[in-house]
Amino acid sequence: MHNLDDPALFSSLDQAGMRLQIRGLPAQCRDAWEKALRFTLPGDYRNVNKVVILGMGGSAIGGDLVRAAATSSASPLITVQRDYDLPAYVDENTLVVASSYSGNTEETLSGFTQALNRKCKKLVISTGGKICSLAREADVPIFVIEHVSSPRAALGYSLMPLLAIMQNLGLVSDKSAEVESMVHALETLGSSWNDDISTEHNQAKKLALKLNGKLVVVYGSGILSDVARRWKTQINENSKSWAFFEVLPELNHNAVIGYRYPVSLKEHILVLMLRCPSLHPRTLIRYKVTGELLEQQKIQHQILDSDGTNPLKHIMSLVLLGDWVSYYLAILNGADPTPVPEIDFLKKRLSEVK
């Protein structure tokens, strides 16, 4: 097994420096927030009651997390569309945000092209590519991402601009204090999970060792539902490993029945249960009882509690932990966490069929 305390190992496997991107998440969030607060939109963009975020993969997860962080009775309806088509309900009171790090995501391009033919308000968040060309031709505002990484390592630039722009438009309450508190918390937590912290004192390294060789299933609920999704996708892309996620309380109505079979899989599965104190009291009881069901079937599980006292801190503390765990799991797998050759293959094959 690889030694997670060997600096030479990180240098040899992590050639593109994914660990530096993860380390930089707090600074990335602060920078993106400050830039987005200075970004202005036409006055009539304030007259919306729905926000539809078009995106896939690492460009979509920011939309999921901002929806969770903005949850309140005063927030607009926020949906994330991971598909080729624009929802039928998009109208003149809808803000459609096309989020594509590369600017060339075909599903997002398809939805944005349809939005150009609707009377909705439109915004692009991207580094460039075809979507920015289309936006410029149609005089659609563009928030330009000035950060070089893989899309999943640019989470700060897909999350924070959305939150800041919605605050500027009066669609959500002032989040400035929450953002500053969250960034400070990430800086503190990251200092104990960074790659230069020994396994003995590093929760992320310990957890990666526990997950090594396991099929990982991540449970979340409420504001942590899409944090569970983030864990799943980071383990897929960074660690090159199978992983799945499910959501409470829904999984209590179906998934728990599937714990029985196949018997041969039980010893190879580890369930991670992401939890925070702000979840519904009945849901928190469900975490306990679900753990009892897992114990009855001799399936390993572990509860991971969030840090902090506000939604953003609950969300992002567990996001950062998951990013580090997926990174260390990649190292244990002997894999470079950055390249995603299977996705490159898919894009190439799809480009051959018009």
Q: Tell me the catalytic residues.
A: 237, 253, 347
**Cα torsion at 267, 207, 64, 309 (round to 10°)?**
130
- Cα(313)–Cα(304) distance, integer angstroms: 14
- Region for 306 from its dihedrals, namely left if φ exceeds 0, alpha if ψ lies in -120 to 50, beta otherwise: beta
Give the DSSP H or E segment for 217. strand 215-221
DSSP state of 223: G
- Cα(336)–Cα(334) distance, integer angstroms: 7
Q: How does DSSP assign 289-309, residue by residue?
A: HHHHHHHHTT-EEEEEE--SS
Cα–Cα distances in Å, from 140 out to 41, 96, 120, 228?
10, 11, 11, 33
- Sign of the dihedral through C-alpha 98, 100, 105, 107: negative
Closest CA to 293 of 328, 254, 259: 259
Rounded to the nearest 10 degrees, the angle between the axes of helix 61-69 and helix 311-332 is 150
Spatial neighbors of 165 by CB under 8 A, at least 6 apart, are: 36, 39, 41, 123, 143
3-class secondary-structure state, position 62: helix
> Tokens for 14?
């992590």
Q: Which amino acid is present at 4?
A: L
Report the side by side order of strands in the sheet with 77-81: 77-81, 50-54, 94-100, 121-126, 142-144
> Tokens for 345?
């293959």
- Cα(141)–Cα(39) distance, integer angstroms: 10
